[in-house]
Structure 1
Amino acid sequence: MMKTISHMPKGYVCPFCQVTMGLDVPGKGTKQNDVIFQNDYVTAFVASKWWPNNKGHVLVVPNQHFENIYELPPEYAAEIHRAAQLTAFAMKDTYSCDGITTRQHNEPAGSQDVWHYHLHVYPRYKKDLFYLTKGIQTNPDKRIMYAKKLRTWIENHLHK
Structure 2
Amino acid sequence: MTVHNHEPPGYDCPFCFLLTGGETPLDSPRDIVLRTGCATAFTAARWWPDNRGHVLVIPNAHHENLYDLPPEYGHAVHDVVREVAIAMRATYGCDGVSTRQHNEPGGGQDVWHYHVHVFPRYEADNLYGSQPLPGYATGEQRWIYADRLRNYFGSSPRT
TM-score normalised to structure 2 length = 0.92
| Match of residue 99 from structure 2 | 102
Paired residue type of 1:30: D
Show CA shifts across 1:17-53 (max 9, x none). 01111211x2x31111100001110110000111110
| Displacement of 1:5 | 3.2
| Displacement of 1:10 | 2.5
| Match of residue 14 from structure 1 | 13
Show CA shifts across 1:68-92 (max 9, x none). 0001011111110110110011100
1:106-125 mapped onto 2 (5 Å cutoff): 106-125=103-122
Whether the 8 Å CA contact 2:87–2:149 is kept in 1: the answer is: yes
The CA distance in 2 between the partners of 1:55 and 1:120, in whole Å, is 12
Sequence identity percentage: 46
Q: CA RMSD in A?
A: 1.1
Paired residue type of 1:141: E
Paired residue type of 1:99: G
Unmatched tracts of structure 1, length 5 or more:
none
The CA distance in 1 between the partners of 2:154 and 2:81, in whole Å, is 15
Unmatched tracts of structure 2, length 5 or more:
none
The CA distance in 2 between the partners of 1:3 and 1:67, in whole Å, is 14
Paired residue type of 1:114: V
The CA distance in 2 between the partners of 1:17 and 1:91, in whole Å, is 24
Aligned to 2:119, the other structure's residue is in SS state strand
| Displacement of 1:119 | 0.4
| Match of residue 90 from structure 2 | 93
More divergent stretch after superposition (105-114 vs 2-11): 2-11
The CA distance in 1 between the partners of 2:125 and 2:104, in whole Å, is 27
| Displacement of 1:143 | 0.7
More divergent stretch after superposition (127-136 vs 108-117): 127-136
Q: 1:33 aligns with which of 30, 34, 38?
A: 30
TM-score normalised to structure 1 length = 0.92
Q: 2:64 aligns with which of 62, 67, 79?
A: 67
The CA distance in 2 between the partners of 1:132 and 1:105, in whole Å, is 17
Paired residue type of 1:53: D
| Match of residue 5 from structure 1 | 4
Aligned residues: 153
Aligned to 2:98, the other structure's residue is in SS state strand
Aligned to 2:154, the other structure's residue is in SS state helix
Shift >6 Å, 4+ stretches: none
Paired residue type of 1:80: V
The CA distance in 1 between the partners of 2:124 and 2:142, in whole Å, is 23
Aligned to 1:49, the other structure's residue is in SS state coil
